[in-house]
Copies of this chain bind each other. A is one copy, B any other.
Amino acid sequence: MQPLLHLENISKRYGSVRVLDGIDITVADNEFLTILGPSGSGKTTILRIIGGFEGIDGGRLMFEGRDLASVPINRRPFNTVFQDYALFHHMNVAENVGYGLKVRGRPKAEIAAKVADVLETVGLGALGARYPAQLSGGQRQRVALARAIICEPRLILLDEPLSALDVELRAQMQRFLKSLQRRLGIAFVFITHDQEEAIALSDRIIVVHRGRIEQEGAPEQLYRRPRTPFTAAFLGENNLIPGTLTSAEGAVCQVETAAGRLQATVDGPVPSPGSPVLLAVRPEHITLTANPAPGALLAEVAEIRFLGANILIELRHPALPDTLLKVRRLADGGTTGLRIGQSLAIGWAAADAALLAAS
């Protein structure tokens, strides 16, 4: 099936700075695609290219098989929620939200009704007459969101649309976006820094790093099977332990590390023995035991941080002085006995430790 949108080998430069390099992305109809990446990696630039706000220095942008090069911004069936909102400060909230309908010549009554409806949805029912300068940051963000969705475009581009919202509102908006996706069959290209959000909402995640695509896939797949150290470290927390591959038996490998010989599972081709590798273990996969079996990995509790629903325990292994091993536990009382300085045995299932080629 033809993708809705296809970015083919896009590259983009600002002066001598190359910000995008061979970007290839497809967006399927009704898909919720998230672009994830560090600050400055090129996410906004990708969005702006799709929206038509930036030209490209190489590659093509295809929409349903048509090249978008000659399609002006206002003819692209996309709408954007800008990172800086870009609200019209001389129009009130209702006028901002209704603008897309107004320029399409819809009747006033219809616009008023739809605006009221959408404002209700984003929880700003009472603020239609306010001007942007009279709103809080989060309220502005919601206006920007309302303004983009009212036209029910084929594709919505969202640049961190929920970053200024509190958890509750955020959850509510997330539900709203998902329902929108389901109800209207709209596709979303979404930028967020919130990984839980990315994982919870997305059908697919694309990890961008320094203007290149690092890895892409379904959220769980990406989380569970990162293929590069960057993805492993960037998407969710990870403990990365460097070592050398000594031997492999099927997918299960032996790795020689400073802390001793450890086991890991490789996804894909097995590196040749002797090559430098990284062993990645998620904090939630590490088990802690107070009474170590002989030969167990021993580490010392360096910090215990309460995070709300979770507790983060940081441990120091004498042979790994530069890295704190992070362990996550549910804050359900199961960790009450822990004390800083305490020595614990740590372990994980070989299946939970991923082997990555060191870059």
- A residues whose Cβ falls under 8 Å from a Cβ of B: 14, 36-41, 43-44, 83-84, 134-139, 141-142, 159-160, 163-170, 193, 195-196, 199-200, 219-220, 223, 233-237, 282-285, 305-310, 328-333, 349, 352
Distance between A161 CB and nearest chain B CB, rounded to angstroms: 12
Say yes or no: A195 contacts B219, CB within 8 Å: no
Say yes or no: A309 contacts B331, CB within 8 Å: no
Say yes or no: A310 contacts B307, CB within 8 Å: no
Say yes or no: B163 contacts A39, CB within 8 Å: no
CA of A272 to CA of B138, assembled, Å: 39
Say yes or no: B306 contacts A137, CB within 8 Å: no
Say yes or no: A166 contacts B38, CB within 8 Å: yes
In the complex formed, the residue of B with least CB distance to A305 is B200
B contact residues around A223 at 8 Å (CB):
306, 308
For this complex, 26 residue pairs linking A to B, each with C-beta atoms less than 8 Å apart, are: A36-B166, A37-B166, A38-B166, A39-B139, A39-B141, A39-B164, A39-B165, A40-B135, A40-B138, A83-B164, A137-B160, A138-B193, A163-B164, A163-B193, A167-B237, A170-B193, A195-B308, A196-B307, A200-B306, A235-B308, A236-B308, A282-B331, A285-B333, A309-B328, A329-B330, A330-B330
In the complex formed, the residue of B with least CB distance to A307 is B196
B contact residues around A159 at 8 Å (CB):
137
Distance between A240 CB and nearest chain B CB, rounded to angstroms: 12
Say yes or no: B164 contacts A193, CB within 8 Å: yes
In the complex formed, the residue of B with least CB distance to A282 is B309
Distance between A81 CB and nearest chain B CB, rounded to angstroms: 13
Distance between A282 CB and nearest chain B CB, rounded to angstroms: 7
Say yes or no: B219 contacts A40, CB within 8 Å: no
Say yes or no: A164 contacts B160, CB within 8 Å: yes
Contact of A219 among B141, B165, B306, B352 (CB under 8 A): B306
A83-B137, A134-B14, A329-B330 given; A237·B166 CB < 8 A: no
CA of A340 to CA of B196, assembled, Å: 21
In the complex formed, the residue of B with least CB distance to A170 is B193
Q: Which of A134, A308, A333, A349 has the most CB of B within 10 A?
A: A308
Say yes or no: B307 contacts A199, CB within 8 Å: yes
CA of A282 to CA of B193, assembled, Å: 25
Say yes or no: B284 contacts A330, CB within 8 Å: yes
B contact residues around A169 at 8 Å (CB):
38-39
Say yes or no: B308 contacts A39, CB within 8 Å: no
Distance between A164 CB and nearest chain B CB, rounded to angstroms: 6
